[in-house]
Amino acid sequence: MPGPGKQRNGPAAGSAGKPHRRLAPWRRLSQALFLLVFFFLFIKTDYTGSDRLEYAVNILFRIDPLLAASVMLAVKGLVALMLPALLLVGLTLILGRFFCGWVCPMGTLIDLCHPFLRPRTRRTDTLYPALPYLLLIFVLAGAFFGLPVAGYIDPFSILVRGLAIAVYPAFNQTVTGFFTYTYLEAPGFVNVVTEPVYSLLRATVLPFDQKYYTLVVLSAAILLAVFVLELIQRRFFCRNLCPLGGLIGLPAAAGIFRGYGGSDDCKACRTCRTVCRMDAIDEERRLAMSRCILCMDCRDKCPRDLIGFRFAPPSRRPAPVSLSRRAVMAALAGAALLPLFSGVRSMAKVPDPFLIRPPGSLPDPEFLDRCVRCGECMKVCIGNALHPSFLESGIEGIFAPRLIARIGYCEFNCTLCGQVCPTGAIRELELPDKHTFKIGHAFFDADRCLPYAKGIPCIVCEEHCPTPEKAIRFRNAVVENDRGETVTVRQPYVVDALCIGCGICENKCPLPDGAAVYVTSAGEARNPEHTLPAADSGLYLSP
């Protein structure tokens, strides 16, 4: 029986008489640095006057093992873009679950919000310890069977999507509105201060242009919920929901970096269990490395310096969590059965014709398998053309990008969306290929188009058409206008072989509500079944 002051699982740091140095300040410094890097890359995911991005702005998603595993299971093969995730797995085997405590921007932001959102209970036991692993099973099995949902629960997707679609545009609108007000209403001496500040913000943190998106409230609500859950339990999302944390915890449990601590006379002290934000310390003062995020609070706050960390051969440790066979089978069954219903939905027979994907997108089934709903393509889109879809392609397509031409258009000389896509769901196109890549086709509504419906001359759509040989041309027609006068007007039409579906004609149409020209997915290059009828294809008869 060990005597007082002696360690069962490691050297007695406290008995040496010299307390160890605190590591929590170094952890906070690491979190701050990586958070700054994250925001730097986030801000740089924008148009800066060049069609080439200077930084690896999508690296966070490419090192995510959860997204890498789900994408590769979905496509049933290796995805080279996601192989950097193996580096994080390897480092976890050596250093433990350091990423969650020292690097993860979501975890850092949750820790920053903790002083303002303190839990209402002092309970230290994790409320739903099995849920992250069940979600992990469901996500990976769902990817294999055709239900790609990793982007809905992955912390990086939630964070970047919420910031890009909701927080950042709102921040820009608020800041710009404030400085516009001071410029117009404040005395001149105030502008001497405010205008240089605004110029500095515009050059550093504000986006190239104000963006507007669909699903703003939903994206913001999901991100806000991650932080509000802190009121229930500290790091609630990380402990009870995050499947990425559950996945990283598996190699951490088998790794060579582990904690030690506890002696026969420390059982009355619960300091370590009280300060542990991940419930990684059990009643016997053993550290479960699958849950420990190496925050070092237990080590730094142990009154006798009995807790520490070291490199040691893998030893028998508590299992990450006990999963019931029924729960595992339910997760697998849900992932396997839900995709069966997708083939009998109406959209399987008649897809939404207004569902237009970005240029370079893969065919929709593989596109949705690879897309992780990160929102990077939407943020970087110069013309504010890309928006998160809702149910246009089913529940598996929520938050995937789609083009809404009335809000924005696909810039003719831009290839940024393919550059930022971390999984290859949107292929990076060279500019000559982008110029001819057809994402849809424009059609005129003769009941609304001014030269057709009212005999009023209008050439706005043709003026903005970006193709070198105009895809919109005119025919002279004699019509009667609203005043009963017979006039000759130029009526626009679309040259099928030249239209690429960029949507600028619909976007710039001067009608105040719905445009007189609209773009659909007809003729899109990624889907041979959408080929437009040729002029020499003969008479079309009803079957």
Domain ranges, ordered by start, for the chain:
1-336, 359-539
With CA atoms as reference, report the closest residue to 154 among 236, 76, 64, 219.
Answer: 64
Query: What is each CA distance from 31 to 26, 50, 65, 90, 109, in whole angstroms?
Result: 9, 31, 20, 20, 9
Q: In whole angstroms, what is the distance from residue 150 CA to residue 371 CA?
A: 9
Q: In whole angstroms, what is the distance from residue 399 CA to residue 390 CA?
A: 6
Residues comprising the chain, all counted: 543
Residue 242: the pLDDT is: 96
With CA atoms as reference, report the closest residue to 209 among 54, 48, 357.
Answer: 48
Query: What is each CA distance from 533 to 441, 470, 496, in whole angstroms?
Result: 12, 20, 9
pLDDT tens column, 402-432: 999 999 999 999 999 999 999 999 999 999 9
Which residues, other chains included, contact 309 with Cβ-Cβ below 8 Å and sequence gap of 6+? Answer: 96, 257, 258, 259, 260, 294, 296, 299
Q: For residues 481 and 461, is the Cβ–Cβ distance under 8 A?
A: no
Q: In whole angstroms, what is the distance from residue 454 CA to residue 97 CA?
A: 68
Residue 15: the pLDDT is: 42
Q: In whole angstroms, what is the distance from residue 437 CA to residue 403 CA?
A: 14
Strands 401-403 and 441-444: unpaired
Six-digit token pair at 369? 């398998």
Q: Give one DSSP letter per residue of 424-489, joined into a string.
A: SSBPPPPHHHHHH----EEEE-TTT-HHHHT-----HHHHH--SSS-SEEEEEEEEE-TTS-EEEE
Query: What is each CA distance from 343 to 69, 74, 363, in whole angstroms?
Result: 24, 17, 16
Q: By three-state DSSP, how is residue 259 classified? A: strand
Residue 152: the pLDDT is: 96
Residue 258: the pLDDT is: 86
pLDDT tens column, 173-194: 999 999 999 999 888 888 899 9
Q: Which amino acid is at 188?
A: G
pLDDT tens column, 127-179: 999 999 999 999 999 999 999 999 999 999 999 999 999 999 999 999 999 99
Q: What is the mean pLDDT of the chain?
A: 89
Residue 95: the pLDDT is: 93
Residue 481: the pLDDT is: 75
Q: In whole angstroms, what is the distance from residue 144 CA to residue 136 CA?
A: 12
Identify the burial level of 80 via C-beta atoms within 10 angstroms of its C-beta, where 0-12 means exposed, 13-18 middle and 19 or more buried.
exposed
Six-digit token pair at 6? 């002696």
List the chain residues with pLDDT less than 50.
1-17
Q: In whole angstroms, what is the distance from residue 138 CA to residue 136 CA?
A: 5
Q: Give one DSSP letter per residue of 367-407, joined into a string.
A: HHHH-----HHHHH-TTS-EEE--STT-GGGTT-EEE-TTT
Write down the residue that tokens 């499947």 correspond to: 243
With CA atoms as reference, report the closest residue to 307 among 4, 3, 8.
Answer: 8
**Number of continuous H segments (helices) and E segments (strands) in the chain:** 25, 8
